[in-house]
Amino acid sequence: MVIPSLHPDEKLIRYVDDLINNNISKILVVDDGSGEEYSSFFEKIKKDNVTVLTHETNLGKGAALKTAFNHIQNSLKEYEIIITADSDGQHSVRDVIKVAKSVHQNKDSLVLGTRDFNQEHVPFKSKNGNKITTFVYKLLYGKYVPDTQTGLRGFNKKYLKNMNEIKGDRFEYEMNMLIYFSLNNFPLEFVEIETIYENNNTGSHFKPFRDSFKIYKVIFSNFFKFIASSLFTTGVDFLVYALLITTLENTGIGKVTYISISSYTARLVSSIVNYTINHKYVFSMTSSNVSKKQSLIKYAITCLLIISLSNLSTIFINKFLNINELIAKPISDVVLFVLSYFIQRNWVFANKKN
């Protein structure tokens, strides 16, 4: 059992006692730089089966979780199931046990304790914020996750190495965890839990503006990287094309010939550059687990498909919708750009082994 904690109160002591009374065999509490004035709370919970790990300064929830995961990986190898929970009273002991049982039954899954945000007592910002995040997450990653920000999670110890490699030191770490599991097609299991908001969730250290910005930055990061990669390779395409046109136009070969050579060569070079960037940076969470030969073949097929669809859709928009071809082309390409992202995410660089 892993509990990251910052500036705790008596609730942490009661929570740890409840966990012990319900036979939770080992509890790790991470003091994430709470300071001397809170040391008494951590001293009170220290017992034979409760270990307190301490950060000298506040490093963030993600860093606290990884500190605990490292400790388990190095010193507590006998434990099979790892559960994480918040220290602010949101996760009941009964729900912790439900999640642990689900992990035992679903050893390959990341198990999430998910709350029902449609209940009347849920704060407005939490209810609507979660709905928006769930929608955006489903759109970009193809997975429906009813509670993307739950801190009650469970997994088998075989995932500890993965958990320690996932990026992020603060609240965005948990979103990165979801993205990692989604993109690698590791299964997700959902266990419905109580929706507890004490004092309108004032005990939470979640900073709405700062942490929401970081979370959405993480959610959109792959798509933004994809945009940046595409813009960069468009520039490469143009530079190679311009260089070849300048070089070949005075060689005596026909105009159609040197334009064709320049166009096809520029597209070939820019496609190789685009594939390399997408493989190493845009879809890096999954591409390391995918055969490079297979992904390269799939990428080439995708390029041919997008080029063909671009030509056909431009003709269709121009002829049947009576829109000028100079306007029809960018309309078509914007739609196909988004389609290309989803094809590359779900097929070209997708880890289907899991």
Q: Is the pLDDT at 116 greater than 80, yes or no?
A: yes
The DSSP letter of residue 282 is I
In a domain, 103, yes or no: yes
Residue pointed to by tokens 């730089």: 33
In a domain, 335, yes or no: yes
**102: Cα within 13 Å, side-chain hemisphere:** 24
In a domain, 80, yes or no: yes
The whole domain housing 289 covers: 221-348
**pLDDT given for residue 126 in this prediction:** 73
**pLDDT given for residue 120 in this prediction:** 77
Extract the tokens encoding 123: 């704060």
Report residue 353's pLDDT band, with 50, 70 and 90 as the boundaries. Answer: low
In a domain, 354, yes or no: no
**225 and 195 in one domain?**
no
Residue among 96, 97, 71 at smallest CA distance from 85: 96
Question: Rg (Cα) of the chain, in Å, rounded?
Answer: 26
**pLDDT given for residue 122 in this prediction:** 76
Domain end, chosen from 150, 179, 206, is at: 206
CA–CA separation, 346 and 119 (whole Å)? 34
Other C-beta atoms lying within 10 Å of the C-beta of residue 318: 17
**173 and 289 in one domain?**
no
Extract the tokens encoding 177: 């965890």
Please report how the helices 61-75 and 172-183 are oriented relative to each other, as an axis angle in degrees rounded to 10.
Answer: 60
**166 and 41 in one domain?**
yes
**182 and 66 in one domain?**
yes
58 class by beta-carbon count within 10 Å (0-12 exposed, 13-18 middle, 19+ buried)? middle
CA–CA separation, 173 and 170 (whole Å)? 6
The separation between CA 35 and the C-alpha centre of its own chain, rounded to angstroms, equals: 31
Question: Which whole-number Å values give the CA distances from 338 to 21, 181, 226, 227, 331, in the listed order?
Answer: 52, 22, 10, 10, 12
Provide the pairing of β-strand 188-192 with 81-84.
Answer: unpaired
| Of the candidate ranges 13-17, 145-149, 330-334, the one whose mean pLDDT is the lowest | 330-334
Report residue 318's pLDDT band, with 50, 70 and 90 as the boundaries. Answer: confident
**120 and 85 in one domain?**
yes
**256 and 135 in one domain?**
no
**180 and 121 in one domain?**
yes
Mean pLDDT across the stretch 32-57?
95
In a domain, 211, yes or no: no
Domain count, the chain: 2
In a domain, 213, yes or no: no
227 class by beta-carbon count within 10 Å (0-12 exposed, 13-18 middle, 19+ buried)? middle
Q: Is the pLDDT at 200 greater than 70, yes or no?
A: no
pTM of the model: 0.82
| Of the candidate ranges 99-108, 121-130, 161-170, 326-335, the one whose mean pLDDT is the lowest | 121-130
Domain end, chosen from 206, 240, 255, is at: 206
Mean pLDDT across the stretch 83-107?
94
CA–CA separation, 195 and 113 (whole Å)? 10
**231 and 286 in one domain?**
yes
**319 and 196 in one domain?**
no
Position with higher pLDDT, 124 vs 199 = 124
Residue among 145, 202, 201, 207 at smallest CA distance from 170: 207
DSSP string, 65-118: HHHHHHHHHHH-TT--EEEE--SSS-S-HHHHHHHHHHHHH-TTSEEEEE--TT
Domain end, chosen from 174, 206, 238, is at: 206
**241 and 191 in one domain?**
no
CB 64 within 8 A of CB 33: no
Q: Is the pLDDT at 225 greater than 80, yes or no?
A: yes
Average pLDDT of the chain to the nearest whole number: 89
**pLDDT given for residue 197 in this prediction:** 67
CB 302 within 8 A of CB 348: yes
- 3-class secondary structure, 7: coil
What is the CATH number for 96?
3.90.550.10
Q: Is the pLDDT at 201 greater than 60, yes or no?
A: no
**229 and 269 in one domain?**
yes
In a domain, 32, yes or no: yes
**270 and 188 in one domain?**
no
In a domain, 214, yes or no: no
Mean pLDDT across the stretch 184-199?
86
